[in-house]
Structure 1
Amino acid sequence: LVRTTDNFGTTGESPSHPRLLDYLAARLIQQNWSVKSLLRELVLTRTYRLDSSHDQLGSDRDPDNRLLWRMNRRRLDAESLLDAMLSVSGRLQTDLGGPQIRSGTTNDYNYRHDSNRRALYWPVLRNSLPELFRVFDFANPSMVTGRRENSSTTPQALFLMNNPWVLQQADHSAQRLLGHRLDGDHGRIQLIVRATLGRPPTPEELQSMLAFVGSENDDKTLRLKKWAQVIQVLFASIDFRYLR
């Protein structure tokens, strides 16, 4: 609603929907300043649930989407990427509450971030952020940040291609997938593409993956390696990293 997130004053940009901004401020007061209640109201709206489908008429009238006639395509933030990969691998721990910092920790240097809990429960330490957070534009804990950067860089692609943690999640995902009793590799591809990309595979994707994974009679170690590579490619794909 206001593009200059850190500046609501006279030198900042005017809101696109001033009456809506006033309404939301009033609702926050009415709900006893409960941010959670306000967020729930926002995510249940039709506007929030729009997709990013292109419409020529809307694009001609409002090319910058200031009136919110569609969703802006956006990349998953660092926390969502972490949760998504852990979820696909079957390693995500969904426990509620509990301690965030490992018992016995005396300082925040070289902290070992190896939890399988949701990113919500990962500690934010000024001197020891997880590498995934640093690469994917997590806010600097030492500064006040109204809106994060949203970059698209080479280190991000290299992280998804080579980082040991990402490779480990791909391996876990492959083991989990091969453990399912499905209708052959065709069924496995349908399942893993839906799990990672939230849609069925295209005919071209299906044929390419079937050709790559080879015969179901191949050596188990070789099949596990091939499926892990398929899943790693899905993790690195645009459709996995971006919401549309």
Structure 2
Amino acid sequence: MSGPQPTAWLQRSPSPTVAGRVFCIPHAGCGGSVFEKWPERRDGVEFLAVELPGRLTRFGERMPSTFEELARALVAGIEPYLDLPFAFFGHCWSALAAYEVAVHLDRAGLPMPGRLFVSSQPGPQEKLTGRMISMSEAELAGELKKTVRAMGHEPHPELVSIYIDVLRADIDVSLRYSVPDPPTLSCPITAIGWTDDTEVRPEEMSGWAACGDTDFVVLPGVHHQFIDAPPDLLAALCAGVRDTG
């Protein structure tokens, strides 16, 4: 009997021999390559970068217009790989996407993550804030260039121009998102703040406590520190998976 077929939602096929999986969702305006510095696995747990529609290998596909629609589509794509202990990691914009994926799994009675990891993002019931909401195209281009340089690359002008539209569409998804009374998840949550994050201070993440049993962790680093795969972050993710195995 053959195993699950490859899915467009993941950059590579999951291994059947690992102890668990962490599905890593890229933040606004980015593709799965934002996790290119991360190892494929650590301590028996593999890290799987999620590839969202409308970017990289999926340029020709329409990005869902709401987090709820995105969650339904993503779950349909990765459901065959929820057969081992797993977790989700989302940073900033994608923390909300990861939360909605967990909400969808809970409501559908499907396997739940051992833990939901959210980084640098206030709770889903909080009023949306942030510099990018009102940024001009030139300012958004500057943000994209910073992310590309943080990944160790020099931004290509044509690609930056293309991804401005991706980033704007992602911002619009978050602007349409409204959850004044967020569902309580049956899985635990770890809310990760960063000591030198000037975008979202760790204390601004307290609202996640309304979404379920939440631990709060502050790690050393700046807003996009996760790009460098800091060992303390990877260790926390692996522990969150192994503890449910």
TM-score band by shorter chain is under 0.3
- TM-score, scaled to structure 2: 0.27
- TM-score, scaled to structure 1: 0.27
| Higher-Rg member (1/2) | 1
